[in-house]
Amino acid sequence: MDQIFKMHGMPTSIVSNRDPTFTNKFWQDPLKLHSTQLQMSKTYHPHRDGQTEVVNKCLETYMRCFASDRQHQWVQWLPLEKQWYNTNYHEAIKMKPYEVVYH
């Protein structure tokens, strides 16, 4: 909420792995009011589009490299993971994510 929502607003879609947070009836109305499409993934098909699967694989690899020997400290690596991901060139958008947002 502090870093994404306040800067960019409500997303147009959310891909969820059927987490109770998003399957709960409480969230159905707020998402509908904001015209946010909730895309539920399937158990053995965790992606809704090819890009999500690729991103998840990249982020998992990054996290394994930095936190594999200190698994209880993985949270401390999230800011660096975010920086790494957002400053790398993405073929799908032909630029870095930070360039999309800040240029």
Domain boundaries, the chain: 9-44, 49-103
Q: 38 falls in which pLDDT band (50, 70, 90)?
A: confident
- Mean pLDDT in residue range 33-46: 72
pLDDT at 74: 83
pLDDT at 21: 67
As a 3-state breakdown, the chain gives helix, strand, coil percent values, each rounded to 5, of 55, 10, 35
How many degrees, rounded to 5, is the angle at CA 40 between CA 86 and CA 26? 100
pLDDT in tens, 57-90: 888 888 888 777 877 888 888 888 888 888 988 8
Alpha carbon distances (Å) from 102 to 6, 40, 64, 96: 15, 30, 29, 10
Q: Are 40 and 18 in contact (CB under 8 A)?
A: yes
**What is the average pLDDT score of the chain?**
78
How far, rounded to the nearest angstrom, does the alpha carbon of residue 11 sit from its chain's CA centroid? Answer: 11
Q: 96 falls in which pLDDT band (50, 70, 90)?
A: very high
